[in-house]
Amino acid sequence: MSAEDAADDAPPPLSQHELDRLWELALHEERVLNERSGYFLIAHAMLLVFAVTAIENLNPAAVLATIIIGAVMSLFWFLVNRRQQDEMKTAVMLVRDQLPGYTAYVKARSNSGLRKFGPAVFIYGIPIAVTFIWVVFAAERLFVWLTS
pLDDT tens for 84-97 read: 999 988 988 888 88
Q: Which residue has the higher pLDDT, 104 or 7?
A: 104
Identify the pLDDT of residue 107: 82
The backbone torsions φ and ψ at residue 102, rounded to the nearest 5 degrees and listed phi first, read -65, -45
pTM for the model stands at: 0.77
Per-residue pLDDT tens for 45-54?
999 999 988 8
According to DSSP, residue 120 is labeled H
Supply the Cα-derived Rg of the chain in whole angstroms. Answer: 23
Distant-in-sequence, close-in-space partners of 133: CB < 8 Å, separation ≥ 6 = 48
